Structure 1
């Protein structure tokens, strides 16, 4: 019995010296422990999830957990008492592994067997279960299992846990199903975490300063596989953010378009720079969304989501109701009273647009509204070039010929065509005789001499 205890102790000490603490964990009881085993996956191993065509290249899968207890008569007579747990294998597969562990004990009866079990699970389990790439991740209700993309990945081809009699399932086989989290997300997250741990321990050359740095001090662009040290990338990101180039936080390699994630940017820049980056990135994203506008109040400028088939927009911050076409207070079904500059800009944008862009503008503003804007813009442009507004009533007045003393056709107010000042009804021409007036002696300014003679009116120099 003393020899058996010594063999057990020696085996435990040997395992502790071979494996790290995150792999082999000895319990407080000398004869108990557990082993966390990540399988050695072949290069270019891939996962594919049911219902999704995209494949995911992975290097790590969540570990098996072999929990064991060594009885008093181990290894002379009895095998270790154990359970085998896994997140991603179905119970039939785990049961097959448990049976194989029993067979290995029988082949090595009387000898310590834990190391043999560990090596089998780590190096041979994939082949034993006939698991190949790409590995299909399948979900059936609350039961999740895996198979090859072209069939079953185990010797029990076409058999699922639901179809297997309980007598064929080993009670030592335990499936760790987490119903609160998606299995696919768990597998990808675990692979990412393990990959990052390995990357952090590598020595790598920075593509900017060409210094050799530890992976933990470097930034890796996954799409292009380029690596740069954190110090160089922090300076690069900070300069781009201060210049407002938040869309340019990509790999510095020429012609490379791999972009940095917000998490990578946050890790390398200060709080102020990241806050500016976050704000500019949000604004840039909103600017690219056709159903988002900004509150026209200069003290607010909050983003506003547009409702379909209506011009009404209500700012969620200041509650200002406005027309998103003209950016003025909401005017119901009345036409927008836009500035001539705004109408011209919208008209030019529409006339120069492609057929698809025109269709989008017609859908956004309404085809009738667009046509009316085009017509009204031409009318307003003509009025701006050929007419002036009466200074009293605002009526548009066109001057075809005659002197610069004008009479409004609407309100009959006299006014000067040059300076648009209203003229007294008693002596409207006094404005042109007054030496202090900016329009002194300009009554016929802009007229041909023959036209002036036809007017039959000349200012007497003696009167001046």
Structure 2
């Protein structure tokens, strides 16, 4: 359901022959001749009316164009859902096509059709019948200007259209979309006038058409204005400038072209934002394509796709370095299959798929796994236990604590690598595994015959260091226990 806010309408008379001006003359001539100034319409078409004989053939369009600066569209499928608001400045024109019969205005009214993209045939039929009534009231006089005044000033009031204006999608019996209802009232069963034409494709979305039309017209208005570039401070036409839609900042295309090309070459495709400091408005891909060359845009498109895929939780890359193809992963599944090389891999550890078996963690992963597990939430801990197994997690925690304790309290034997803890005694140590002697200070191997010569040799780095760091008793002697 869509809602439009319409404070007013404007009538435009368009000449089908001259794009620069328009005049409409009644075939009655004389004092009844009428001329109207032309305002360029944004949607000009010529419609021929079928099977009408006329001694004064003419065809002209009267476009009812909304041209105010504030229009809101609220979109929602059901009333219970939240609506989405859109602000537009232009609506597609309401078009009146007509021909003058030979006996107009003395006896016959102009033959006409009314077409619209945003009114239903029921509403257009009501307009047609009201115009017939206006002819009956003014029979014998020129009526075209009266019709135009009616379309200009009374259309919304006559149709009961109030703000906000509701746009309802109408489905045919076959289930295909046939039209769009722009009214807050329910459709009533009534005969439709063949002169009422609704120009809406059954496959088209009326909201999309309204937004596209408004964007095109705003671009035309923008192209005709003069702006000062925020970078080079030169005055340029809007047709030579680029507008960031979110922030409304304007820069000339020459400056933005160079800016975009530098960012794309550096791989910063997510940084094509407005150059204004602290402004986060982003350029659209269509704006980038308009300014840069084909090669630069191809690189931009590729990097933008890659960065977008990196943010998607259900997309991964093939672990094979020679492939790196994007892979779609099914929810609640740990298996990914590359569509290019058909490699099946585990989405958790990136190794070959191992079914229900737990992921194999390397030594480096085990060391980091403990910190991740300890700092994780309950949900995170359950995920890690599911991925690696509870026993692996417990072993990782225990081994990491053991490794840290050994690193802080033990030293390895220089001969066999066994971890040795010094509880007390001198710095001449005996390995409990290989029974070799070594120095606790420099971890050098000692002589089997005279291990103390290492501490008595003046040239030794540990000279007189036999009792260095040893805790002394109250009498100044160390423990008598052997190392």
Fold similarity call, TM over 0.5: yes
Following superposition, the deviation at residue 37 of structure 1 comes to 0.9
Show CA shifts across 1:257-293 (max 9, x none).
2211111112122222222222222222222233332
Report whether the alignment pairs 1:132 with 2:162.
yes
The residue aligned with 2:181 is: 145
The residue aligned with 2:189 is: 164
Distance 1:454 1:319, change over 3 A: same
The residue aligned with 1:376 is: 396
The residue aligned with 2:71 is: 45
Distance 1:198 1:451, change over 3 A: closer
The residue aligned with 1:238 is: 261
Distance 1:209 1:341, change over 3 A: same
The residue aligned with 2:477 is: none
Could you say what secondary structure the match of 1:79 adopts?
Answer: coil
Could you tell me which of 337, 359, 379 is aligned with 1:314?
Answer: 337
5 Å matches for 1:9-158?
A: 14=35, 23=44, 25=46, 31-35=57-61, 37-50=63-76, 51=78, 52-142=82-172, 144-148=180-184, 152=185
The residue aligned with 2:462 is: none
5 Å matches for 1:386-405?
A: 398-400=418-420
5 Å matches for 1:219-234?
A: 219-234=242-257
Unaligned runs of 5+ in 1: 153-158, 389-395, 408-442
Could you say what secondary structure the match of 2:125 adopts?
Answer: helix
Unaligned runs of 5+ in 2: 1-24, 173-178, 422-428, 454-483
Could you say what secondary structure the match of 1:257 adopts?
Answer: coil
TM-score by length of 1: 0.72
5 Å matches for 1:246-395?
A: 246-353=269-376, 355=377, 359=379, 362-363=382-383, 366=386, 369=389, 372-373=392-393, 375-376=395-396, 379=399
Q: Would you say the 8 A contact 1:340–1:380 is kept in 2?
A: no
Determine the C-alpha separation between the residues in 1 that align with 2:190 and 2:332. 60
Determine the C-alpha separation between the residues in 2 that align with 1:178 and 1:373. 62
The residue aligned with 1:393 is: none
Counting matched residue pairs gives 402
Q: Would you say the 8 A contact 1:46–1:58 is kept in 2?
A: yes
Higher RCO (C-alpha 8 Å, min separation 6):
2
TM-score by length of 2: 0.70
Instruction: Supply the RMSD in Å over aligned alpha carbons.
Output: 4.2
Q: Would you say the 8 A contact 2:229–2:236 is kept in 1?
A: yes
Distance 1:93 1:301, change over 3 A: same
Structure with a larger share of its residues in helix: 1
Show CA shifts across 1:338-386 (max 9, x none).
3333444454445445x3xx62574477266377347426626856968
Distance 1:68 1:382, change over 3 A: same
Determine the C-alpha separation between the residues in 1 that align with 2:254 and 2:180. 44
